[in-house]
Amino acid sequence: MISNYITKTYPNHQSIATGFYEENHGIVSNHFYDPRYNQTFDIDKSPDYWWTEWPVTPVWTVNQLYGQSSGVMQWPGAHVRYRDQSPRYLQNYNHSIPWNTRIDTMIGWLTDGRAPASCVFAYFDEPDATSHEFGPFSTQTYSQVLRADAVIRYLLQRLDEKSLLNQTNLIILANRVINLNDILDPSWYDWYGGSPNWSILPKPGHYDKIYEILWKASQTMPFTIYKRQEIPEHYHYSRNRRILPLFLVADEGWDVFQNVSQVHKPKGWPVWGNHGWDNRLLSMRPLFMANGPAFKS
């Protein structure tokens, strides 16, 4: 499967939920700036209008508009009310809830005698979280992959117990150092996002200078700098005011930081995992597995 660009968590989860590119649904990174509101998006605290300003509706809301019930288990952005409604069944993000408990809760939604859910979305933050800390090929990440396999087996077992396995369409998806202060004076700009992608907002009078310096540096360093209007069309990532005038992306396998002292050194330092690079790269392609009566074998 090819993810949307940028290959970051919140933008791609919103694309999966709504079917829109990031430039169309407005969640353009995990951390970004909106020049209209002069505010920065916070994944935990930002009000609903950050999500609902553009005319998009997640599948779980569409399902309910057709008279069905939906459930959402810890999916990013599920707390937001669309079309003046929330999912009938909702569990906001809580890392401490055991995985099997989450499965049991969702089975309860599907079998609720009053209004059984006919559409359920669920998010699990592993093996992503461990891969960031220890790297994608670490033994720790491999253990989390085995854990994910086990919870999928448990889900199938519980569906079978309730005679739902052959009636349920199941889709399993995944989303998918340069020291900038050596190149630019940090007083010339503000930037938003997270490595390897950064949206840059030049301060008045500095746009041309910043672009020229970064373009020259990119000829010998592993990153690319774009003017917003020059971001490649296949990214579908330019037609939104939240994508700022300059956009910097590191080459595959590289990260960009303002200052090396700001780098979060994970437990697996100096090897760790990341995502966000070109969505056409094989390394950025997540899995897509589906099973159920709606899918041909």
pLDDT at residue 58 in the model: 97
pLDDT of residue 268 exceeding 60: no
Q: What CA–CA distances, in Å, run from 117 to 7, 18, 121, 124, 278?
A: 30, 19, 10, 19, 36
The set of residues, in sequence order, having a beta carbon less than 8 Å from that of 257 and lying 6+ positions away, is 177, 178, 179, 180, 195, 263
Which whole number is the average pLDDT over 121-146? 82
Which whole number is the average pLDDT over 26-32? 92
Q: Strands 117-122 and 246-250, how do they pair?
A: unpaired
Q: Which backbone phi and psi does 168 adopt, to 5 degrees?
A: -110, 130
Distance CA 192, CA 283 (A): 24
pLDDT at residue 222 in the model: 77
The set of residues, in sequence order, having a beta carbon less than 8 Å from that of 230 and lying 6+ positions away, is none
Q: pLDDT tens digits for 195-228?
A: 778 888 999 999 999 999 889 888 877 788 999 9
Q: Strands 223-227 and 33-34, how do they pair?
A: unpaired
Q: What is the pTM of this model?
A: 0.72
Q: Where are the alpha helices (DSSP H) in the chain?
A: 9-18, 22-25, 49-52, 59-65, 99-111, 128-134, 139-161, 207-218
Which whole number is the average pLDDT over 29-49? 88
Q: pLDDT tens digits for 62-96?
A: 999 999 999 999 999 999 999 999 999 999 999 99
pLDDT of residue 271 exceeding 50: no
More confident residue, 9 or 50: 50
Lowest mean pLDDT segment, chosen from 26-35, 133-142, 233-242: 133-142
The set of residues, in sequence order, having a beta carbon less than 8 Å from that of 52 and lying 6+ positions away, is 80, 81, 82
Q: pLDDT tens digits for 239-261?
A: 999 999 999 888 776 766 655 55
The set of residues, in sequence order, having a beta carbon less than 8 Å from that of 105 and lying 6+ positions away, is 73, 91
Contact criterion met (CB below 8 Å) for 119 and 113 = no
Task: Using only the alpha carbons of the chain, give its radius of gyration.
Answer: 21
Which whole number is the average pLDDT over 134-153? 83
pLDDT at residue 177 in the model: 43
Active-site residues, by number, are 9
Sorted by where each starts, the structural domains of the chain and their CATH numbers stand as 9-19+56-176+281-290 (3.40.720.10), 178-262 (3.30.1360.180)
Which whole number is the average pLDDT over 133-157? 85
Residue 178: pLDDT band with limits 50, 70, 90:
very low
